[in-house]
Amino acid sequence: MAAEVSEHSYSGQLVHSRLLYRRKRLYSIVGLLLLLVIVVGVASSLGSASVPLSTVWRLLLSWLPGVHTDSGISDTLSTIVLDIRLPRIIMAGLVGAALATAGATYQGLFRNPLADPYLIGVAQGAGLGAVVAFMLPFSVHAAGLSLVPPLAFGCGLISAGILYALARVGKTLPMTAVILAGVALGAFLSAITSFLLVNSDNLHGVLLWLMGSFTMSNWDEVHVLFPYLLAGLVLIYLYSRPLNLMQLDEEQAQQLGVNVERVKLILLLTATLITAAAVSFAGSIGFVGLIIPHAVRLVWGGDYRFLLPLSTLAGAIFLILADTLARTVISPAELPVGVVTALCGAPFFLYLLWQKKREVF
């Protein structure tokens, strides 16, 4: 990448190889997109309720406008496939996409391979908000909505605001200060969460929520999360070129015409926004944000113009698969999805690392 941006070579061979390089990555994006569609289809066919495959596909097809293939299917089966499985799968996909993209963005911003959505305290803030919502002396479930997501989201954003105020030096935002302040803030917030939990009446429920779960995902959640995520992703993709330049050095990027401070602020805010939105619905699901961007980097390289969308797709595919395992392995009981992401994701990542380490390092 460095070669690509700094050298302006007009030799035909180089132009050709650049085209080839781009085409290969574009094909990869299209390939992952197709894989995502297949994974959604397969995941909708699996579940603890035994629904015949043909029924599932008739139900899914009836979803397309103008297609009526769902006649004669019972309400229960239709609810199971269309209102329980499908929103759950899509929710897992959206959250996976959000966490992986946010993780890739943080890693690029901090130029730190250990950065992930939980490093700078945003998720901990969201978790605290969720616990507070659980502990309020009233509940608003009767009205069909829960206070957990909005409070989690709000607290996630507030902690990002505090972080920004703490780490800012004059008009600049040194990334080391952000990490240090973020780690300390995260520790402080999770301490408050633990303190509140000790006095909580439904400790078990809150703990399970914090571990992350898609058991109760529904279309309302999809409708709320999707616009946030879409806006966030588009904004992050738009800044992928400056993010590439910033991998060299902030000063060099500045000289190449990137408004470094503005890019940092926008990317930090956007990644935080989509993290908080994802965590507020799904709880903290570890591993996706850290490992998916690295896996993508190992396979397709570190060009952020491709790394970001590829991470989005890989994150979605990975979390859908993980959640499908979580709900089918010991069905009708469920595993916490975070357990699956770590249990399956870690060995896969280690394998990838072992295969590619000579090429990359």
Partner 1 sequence: MTRLLGKTLGLLVLVVLIITSCSSGGGSSGQSAIELTDQLGRVVKLDKMPQRIISLAPQNTEILFALGLGDKVVGVTTYCNFPPEAQEKPKIGGFSTVDVEKVVSLSPDLVVAALIHEKETISQLESHGLKVLALAPKTLSEVTQAIELVGKATGTETQARRAVEDMETRMATVARLVAGLSAEGRPRVFYVVWHDPLMTAGGDTTQSELIDLAGGRNIFDDLSKYPTVDLEALLERQPQVIIAGSGHGSAQNSPLEWAKSEPRLKNTEALIQNRVFGIDADIVSRAGPRIVDGLEEMLRLIHPELAAKLKD
Q: Of 5-34, which residues contact partner 1 (CB under 8 A)? A: none
135 near partner 1 (CB under 8 A): yes
Residue (246 or 282) nearer to partner 1, CB = 282
- 3 counts as binding partner 1 under rule CB under 8 A: no
The site for partner 1, by CB under 8 A, has a size of 41
Three-class DSSP category at 153 = helix
Binding to partner 1 (CB under 8 A): which residues in 239-268?
A: none
Of 295, 292, 245, which Cα lies nearest the Cα of 103? Answer: 292
* Contact by Cβ (8 Å): 305, 244: yes
202 near partner 1, rule: CB under 8 A: yes
Nearer to partner 1, 135 or 183 (CB): 135
Assess contact for 210 and 338: CB atoms under 8 A. Answer: no
Residue whose CB is less far from partner 1, 127 or 302: 127
CA distances in angstroms from 134 to 150, 173, 340, 345, listed in the order given: 12, 35, 25, 31
- Nearest Cα residue to 123 out of 12, 32, 211, 202: 211
Asked if 176 is part of the footprint of partner 1 (rule: CB under 8 A), the reply reads no
Cβ neighbour number for residue 277 with a 10 Å cutoff: 27
Query: Cβ distance 94 to 160 under 8 Å?
Result: no
Q: How far is the CB of 49 from partner 1 (least distance, A)?
A: 4
The answer to whether 290 touches 338, Cβ cutoff 8 Å, is no
Q: Which is nearer to partner 1, 85 or 297 (CB)?
A: 85
Should residue 127 be labelled a site residue for partner 1 when binding is judged by CB under 8 A?
no
Q: Among residues 111 and 223, whose Cβ is nearest to partner 1?
A: 223
HSE on the CB side for 201, CA within 13 Å? Answer: 5
* Contact flag: residue 72 with partner 1 (CB under 8 A): no
Only one residue has tokens 């992930």, namely: 116
Site residues for partner 1, window 204-233 (CB under 8 A)?
204-205, 208-209, 213, 215-216, 218
DSSP annotation of 197: H
50 is a site residue for partner 1 (CB under 8 A): yes
Nearer to partner 1, 136 or 350 (CB): 136
**Range in contact with partner 1 (rule: CB under 8 A) among 3-11, 25-33, 140-148, 254-262:** 140-148
Q: Which is nearer to partner 1, 219 or 351 (CB)?
A: 219
Using the structure block, give the residue that is written with the tokens 């409070």. 151
Query: Is the CB of residue 50 less than 8 Å from the CB of residue 332?
Result: no
Binds partner 1 (CB under 8 A): choice among 38, 42, 49, 350: 49
**Binding-site member from 6, 17, 54, 139 for partner 1 (CB under 8 A):** 139
State the nearest-atom distance from the C-beta of 326 to partner 1, in Å: 9
Least distance in angstroms from the C-beta of 325 to partner 1: 13
Q: Contact, 247 vs 108, CB < 8 A?
A: yes
Q: Which two tokens stand for residue 53?
A: 């495959």
Rounded Cα distance, 240 and 243, in Å? 5
Judged by CB under 8 A, the chain residues 91 through 120 that form the site for partner 1 are none
Of 135 and 192, the one with the shorter C-beta distance to partner 1 is 135
Task: Give the C-alpha separation, 106 to 98, whole Å.
Answer: 12
CA distance 81 to 357: 42
Residue 210, token pair as written in the block: 């914090």
Helix, coil or strand: residue 172: strand
Region from 31-39, 47-55, 163-171, 300-308 binding partner 1, contact rule CB under 8 A? 47-55
Query: Positive or negative CA dihedral for 327, 330, 336, 338?
Result: negative
Q: Is 194 in the site for partner 1 (CB under 8 A)?
A: no
Distance separating alpha carbons of residues 349 and 272, to the nearest angstrom: 25
Q: Which of 332, 354, 358, 359 binds partner 1 (CB under 8 A)?
A: 332
Q: Which of 97, 239, 327, 338 binds partner 1 (CB under 8 A)?
A: 327
- Which residues in this chain contact partner 1 in the complex, by CB under 8 A? 47-50, 75-76, 79-80, 83-85, 134-139, 141-144, 146, 148, 198, 200-202, 204-205, 208-209, 213, 215-216, 218, 327, 331-334, 336
